[in-house]
Amino acid sequence: MAMQFTFGEGLEVTGMLDVANRYQGGPGFIHGGILTTAFDEAQGMACMVLRRPVVTGHLQIDFAAPIPLGSVLELRARIDGTVRRKVYTSAEARIVEGPFADPDVVVATSRGLFLTVGAEHFDRAKDFVDGVPVSPHGTSSV
Ligand SMILES: CCCCCCCCCC(=O)SCCNC(=O)CCNC(=O)[C@H](O)C(C)(C)COP(=O)(O)OP(=O)(O)OC[C@H]1O[C@@H](n2cnc3c(N)ncnc32)[C@H](O)[C@@H]1OP(=O)(O)O
């Protein structure tokens, strides 16, 4: 989705998301599915250090506080460990700009299991137009 990523020291990746009006769920606040997507992308991006494709196997989100439209969210994500093809990741979100901004408050957390896959995983979709990547990282541009 339309996030900006920076790769920090070690294994941590930081993603920034402008919470646009089109991301609304309940009146005035972000949709939970949008926040889930942002975590999925950030944690998937953290897996890039492995230099192997990954897909999400399991994602668990804790929505700790409402996030108003107009906020800027910072998501910090990392790999916590790997076991064979399994990649354990976690992330947390903070509002860093907007009326509810407080960089000391974690408004949501995520734990995700990613699996490394071979190129054949994606080959199955290559004949479909919808499978054509629309951004440089092969992620969606919502
Ligand atoms: C390049 C930039 C990237 C930017 C970020 C992009 C992020 C976006 C990522 C996505 O959203 S990907 C889209 C959503 N995910 C999918 O479509 C995946 C659909 N599921 C599958 O394709 C398969 O289920 C999957 C590849 C995840 C696993 O199938 P496999 O046949 O490869 O797994 P296998 O059965 O061999 O299991 C391997 C290990 O993983 C474990 N495992 C597999 N799926 C699991 C699951 N869902 N939950 C927990 N554990 C799981 C399994 O128990 C086992 O553990 P052990 O090694 O200990 O035996």
From the list 116, 99, 112, 16, the residue with the least C-alpha distance to 65 is: 99
Which residues have CB under 6 Å of ligand 1? 40-41, 44-45, 48, 55-58, 84-86, 113, 115, 117, 137-139
What's the predicted TM-score (pTM) here?
A: 0.93
Mutate to test the pocket of ligand 1, among 115, 134, 137, 139 (most ligand atoms within 8 A of CB): 115
The CATH architecture one would assign to domain 4-119 is Roll (3.10)
ipTM for this prediction: 0.96
pLDDT grade for 139, boundaries at 50, 70 and 90? low
Per-residue CA distances from 78 to 20, 37, 116, 121 (Å): 25, 16, 15, 24
Name the residue ranges covered by the structural domains of the chain.
4-119
Give me the pLDDT at residue 125, please.
77
CA separation for the pair 68, 85 (Å, rounded): 37
Please tell me whether residue 49 adopts helix, strand or coil conformation: helix
pLDDT (tens digit per residue) in 29-88: 999 999 999 999 999 999 999 999 999 999 999 999 999 999 999 999 999 999 999 999
What is the mean pLDDT of the segment spanning 80-102? 97
Q: Are 16 and 74 in contact (CB under 8 A)?
A: yes
What is the mean pLDDT of the segment spanning 85-103? 97
pLDDT above 80 (res 127): no
Expressed in angstroms and rounded, the spacing between residue 64 Cα and the centre of ligand 1 is 26
Give me the pLDDT at residue 124, please.
81
Expressed in angstroms and rounded, the spacing between residue 131 Cα and the centre of ligand 1 is 18
User: Can you say how many angstroms the Cα of residue 58 is from the centroid of all Cα atoms in its chain?
Assistant: 13
Please tell me whether residue 120 adopts helix, strand or coil conformation: helix
